[in-house]
Amino acid sequence: MAKILITNRDGEQSEIEGEIGISVMENLRDNDYELEAICGGQCSCATCHIYIDDAWLSKVGARNDEENELLEELDCVQPGSRLSCQIEFSEDLDGLTLTIAPDE
């Protein structure tokens, strides 16, 4: 059992029981968060943009090159920006805290 703590686009906080072994994007989508995730996790669309809480940044690891290029072009990119389809959810991420980025 591992939790994900989420702030949605309206600023409301909630928590879900994350499924291990699938991406954070899939977890958010399965639980009805308003992510579009149009490319389905192919790192082609940037519509699964989230902000990782500072405390978790080092734990989730670094952005990959393609992800970086997509993120850098977004208007609302922040240091904690990640594409949620590029993070696999694992036991180690129990308690992961994130915010869904605005729709661009």
Partner 1 sequence: MTQTIIVVGAGHAGGQAVATLRQKGFDGRIIMIGDEPYVPYERPPLSKAVLAGELEVERTFLKKDTWYPDKQIDFRANTQVTAIDRRAKTVTTSHGENLAYDKLLLATGTRVRKLQAPGAHLENIFYLRAIDDTLAIRKQMKPGAKVVIVGGGYIGLEVAAVAVKMGCDVTVLEGLDRVMSRVVAPEVSAFYDKVHTDAGVKIRTGMAVTGFEGHGKVERVTCADDSFFPADLVVIGVGVLPNVELAADGDLAVDNGIVVDEYCQTSDENVWAAGDCTNHPNALLGRRLRLESVQNAVDQAKTAANAMCGELKEYAEIPWFWSDQYDLKLQIVGLSEPGDEVVIRGNPAERKFSAIYLRHGKFVAINAINMIKDFMAAKKMIAAGTQLDPVRAADPEVPLKDL
Q: Which residues bind to partner 1, rule: CB under 8 A?
A: 22, 26, 29-30, 32, 34, 36, 38-40, 42-46, 66, 69-70, 72-74
| DSSP output for 46-62 | -TTEEEE-GGGHHHH-P
50 near ligand FES, rule: CB under 6 A: no
Nearest to 103 by CA among 67, 51, 49: 49
Tally DSSP H helices, then E strands, for the chain. Answer: 3, 5
Residue 6 binding result from ligand FES, partner 1, none, given CB thresholds of 5 to 8 Å by partner type:
none
Cα–Cα distance measured from residue 61 to residue 85, given in angstroms and rounded to the nearest whole number: 13
Nearer to partner 1, 5 or 43 (CB): 43
Nearer to ligand FES, 1 or 38 (CB): 38
Selected binder of ligand FES within 4, 6, 24, 46 (CB under 6 A): 46
